[in-house]
Amino acid sequence: MDIFSALSEPTRRRILEMLSQTEHLTASEISDKFDVSAAAISQHLKVLREANLVTVEKRAQQRLYKLKPNGMTELESWVNQMTQVWKHRFDRLEQVLEAEKKKL
């Protein structure tokens, strides 16, 4: 799954927020905070891992989930790019509208 689809789900966004406030969490520490089943959380973690947003580290019997620091870059760069493109477009559109208004 791509990063945008991964981020479209509110539970997954909350998991990322939780991970951003701490060094790492186990799957059970995460699922304790939600009303949904552990299996559902495990599925969300799988999606986040596949979208390159979190990493998992095996330590003894535990699997520790961590936020991947550069995971957001793809989305952020898309947002910045789109905002720039539309700012320029809208500036030019404004000029076109002014010129067209004079013709009315």
Partner 1 sequence: MNIVDHTINGSELTLTRTFDAPRELVWKAFTEPELIAKWWGPRGWNTKITTMEVKPGGVWHYCMVGPNGEEAWGLSTYKELNPPAKMIYTDAFCNAEGVINESMPQIDVVMDFIDVDGKTKIVSKSTYATEAELKTVVDMGMLPGITETWDRLAEHLQSV
**Nearest-approach distance from CB 85 to partner 1, in angstroms:** 8
For residues 61 and 95, which CB has a smaller minimum distance to partner 1 in the complex?
95
- Pick the closer one to partner 1 by CB: 33 or 86: 86
Q: Which two tokens stand for residue 34?
A: 């939600």
Give min distance, CB of 13 to partner 1, in A: 7
d(CA 74, CA 41): 24
Q: Tell me whether residue 4 or residue 22 sits nearer to partner 1 (CB atom).
A: 4
Query: Smallest distance, Å, CB 101 to partner 1?
Result: 6
Residues that bind partner 1 (CB under 8 A): 2, 4-5, 7-10, 13, 75, 78-79, 82-83, 85-98, 100-101, 104
CB-based contacts of 4, cutoff 8 Å, min separation 6: 75
Q: Which of 63, 70, 77, 67 is nearest to 14 (CA)?
A: 67
Is the separation of the CB atoms in 32 and 78 below 8 Å?
no
The nearest distance, CB 52 to partner 1, in angstroms, is 15
Which DSSP helix (H) or strand (E) runs through 27?
helix 27-31
